[in-house]
Amino acid sequence: MLDGAIKRPKMQPVKVNVHRAIIGVVKSIIVSLSKTGKFYASILVDDGVATPSPIHTIGKVVGIDLGLSHYAIGSNGEKTANPRFVKRAEKNLRRKQRQLSRKAKGSANRALTRGTPVLKRAMVTLINWKQCLYRYANRTAQLAE
């Protein structure tokens, strides 16, 4: 790791946008390519601070059944409505990908459609909704306690 660049073995230093100060010894750097064509670097750093102990222990266990008509039904009988926004986002993404698949491979029109913000936004929206659903499940589990 250099100032404003990442140095990998057998590669020239690559300029990066460092948005957080790196404090400690760099253990590893993983470079990954996202579906939208952007590169991201995950940097593992040893800061020398001991791992903290868990804040609290588990007091009781609650069973949650995930279903179709209701998103979650707790072991205490509490029902949570099923949000349908993920299904809508998947349908939108499916429609956009179908439009893309109809374009001839290698054509300028396909390249334009593939690079449009609409398709990228549909992918990002779906990912965001799935993360929202995950948070929704966590909140439901916390309420059941």
pLDDT single digits (tens) 2-59? 677 888 888 788 888 888 888 888 888 888 888 888 888 888 999 888 888 877 777 7
In the chain, the percentage of residues whose pLDDT exceeds 90 is: 3
Range of 37's domain? 5-46
Average pLDDT over residues 57-65: 71
Q: Is residue 138 one of the residues assigned to a domain?
A: yes
Domains held by the chain: number: 2
Distance CA 58, CA 114 (A): 48
Q: Is residue 72 one of the residues assigned to a domain?
A: no
Residue 143 pLDDT grade (very low, low, confident, very high; cuts 50, 70, 90): low
Average pLDDT over residues 124-137: 73
- The model's pLDDT over 66-75, given as tens digits with 9 standing for 90+, comes to 777 777 777 7
Specify whether 41 is located in the same domain as 87.
no
Q: Is residue 100 one of the residues assigned to a domain?
A: yes
Q: Which two tokens stand for residue 140?
A: 């439901």
Please state, rounded to an integer, the average pLDDT across all residues of the chain.
78
Residue 44 is inside which H or E element, if any? strand 39-46
Q: Is residue 131 one of the residues assigned to a domain?
A: yes
What angle (nearest 5°) sits at the alpha carbon of residue 136, between those of residues 53 and 58? Answer: 30
Q: Is residue 126 one of the residues assigned to a domain?
A: yes
Residue 104 pLDDT grade (very low, low, confident, very high; cuts 50, 70, 90): very high
Q: Is residue 67 one of the residues assigned to a domain?
A: no
Specify whether 87 is located in the same domain as 42.
no
Query: What pLDDT, on a 0 to 100 scale, did the predictor assign at position 53?
Result: 83
Residue 25 or 144, more confident? 25
Specify whether 93 is located in the same domain as 139.
yes
The 8-class DSSP code of residue 37 comes to S
Query: What pLDDT, on a 0 to 100 scale, did the predictor assign at position 102?
Result: 92
Q: Is residue 98 one of the residues assigned to a domain?
A: yes
Q: Is residue 59 one of the residues assigned to a domain?
A: no
Query: What pLDDT, on a 0 to 100 scale, did the predictor assign at position 59?
Result: 72
Distance CA 78, CA 71 (A): 11
